[in-house]
Amino acid sequence: MRYEPIGRDLFIKNRERFSHQLKPDSIAIFHSNDLMPTNADGTMAFRQNNDLFYLSGIDQEESVLVVFPDCPDKAHREVLFVRETNEHIAIWEGHKLTKEQVTEISGVETVYWTHEFVDRLTPLMAQAEFVYLNANEHSRANCEVQTRSDRMNAQLRQTFPLHKYERTAPIMHRLRYVKSQREVEMIQRACRITEKAFRRILGFVKPGVMEYEIEAEIIHEFVRRGSRGHAYSPIVASGRDSCVLHYIDNDKACKDGDVLLLDFGAEYGNYNADLTRTIPVNGRFSQRQKAVYNAVLRVMKEAKQMLIPGNTFQAYNKEVGKIMESELIGLGLLDATDVKNQNPKHPLYRKYFMHGTSHSLGLDVHDVDDRRIPFEAGMVFTCEPGIYIPDEGIGVRIENDILVDEKAPVDLMANIPIEAEEIEELMNA
């Protein structure tokens, strides 16, 4: 692996916390993601199922984790199945994990080959009453493609129709919502790599450069520092495209006088960073561009101070909306009287700030969460207000990653340039 060993203590603790949430006589099963095909004999880069990774640290295809806390045989209370290698696989694909390496990474002592899964699982199922199945239940998921978990879950239900089936998602979402110290360290590492990439492109951007050239500079810095690449498709949007929220074409020339919105983040050890900055293509903001930029920055600074234990998404977003209204009035984009008389269900600021201010961050960029509960220490959120004015060709978004802490919010991107004057200084150094 490119990333440093995370340490099995994290995964042992995660399994303990998960096991305590299960009903008596329950068995839980987690399958790795598929290797996804492209065309002909091509495949996409493998990305592990995040729940399986969270509980085991195993980052290899065709892996299965079985957790059975009440199993009479202590050796089978935690079991991992991994792909058995051979000389042909070693030559064509390279090294696969040995059983000893699986135990070293995960802390799971009992390891079998994946082809043994059905034979080993059958006697365990006979001793279980409840079966917890894993599936992608993210609130934003659009699952048009059947996953390995979906296929295996369907087969299990057909083979063992009389068991009582439960969902792992409510438990996993609640556990993963609050990060451990080691997880925060991994996110922080991804943030530091992201910082290096941003500083690199501050010295690279100029009128005439192509957006995809900037994207190339970013991925160069990511890979050379141990990241496997982008945490998500990067946005490199100049001019009017800075107002397109999910612009990923990155195929235009950056023009003198335009702003450039950059939304990107590094992945490190399956954990993610998520950064947004808006910079002037020619190295100097116009008066209007700087006014919009500083308005967004003021909202962001006030918003991140509200990411504290006990606050809720509902109260947080309501207060951010009020702050944004004030800034938009100051920019001449909204009228104070109109705001006073607006329909509260359809606030006017949404014309210029139409997305949420924050989302959970971790193994997923839009990480799983439980928005019914108040914020707690250990949660990590983005903080990303924006103002988008298509008629002026100005889109400004500023985003940092924030750790909720008992004392005060911790900005994991505090070292990344954010003030307009500092950005201009670095671009003209």
Which residues are catalytically annotated?
A: 41, 246, 263, 274, 355, 359, 366, 384, 388, 397, 399
Nearest alpha-carbon partner for 197 in 184, 213, 214, 210: 214
Give the separation between CA 284 and CA 289, rounded to whole angstroms.
Answer: 9
Q: What is the Cβ-side half-sphere exposure of residue 63, based on CA atoms within 13 angstroms?
A: 28
Give the separation between CA 77 and CA 282, rounded to whole angstroms.
Answer: 61
Nearest alpha-carbon partner for 148 in 42, 280, 275, 51: 51
Q: Which residues contact 155 (CB under 8 A, 6 or more apart)?
A: none
Strand intervals (E) in 94-204: 110-113, 130-133, 164-167
Structure-block tokens of residue 400: 């940092």
Kindly give the pairing relationship between strand 410-411 and strand 266-268. Answer: unpaired
Give the separation between CA 283 and CA 423, rounded to whole angstroms.
Answer: 8
Give the separation between CA 159 and CA 88, rounded to whole angstroms.
Answer: 33
Nearest alpha-carbon partner for 128 in 19, 55, 17, 24: 24
Kindly give the pairing relationship between strand 78-82 and strand 275-280. Answer: unpaired
Measured CA angle at 54 (ends 51, 60), to 5 deg: 80
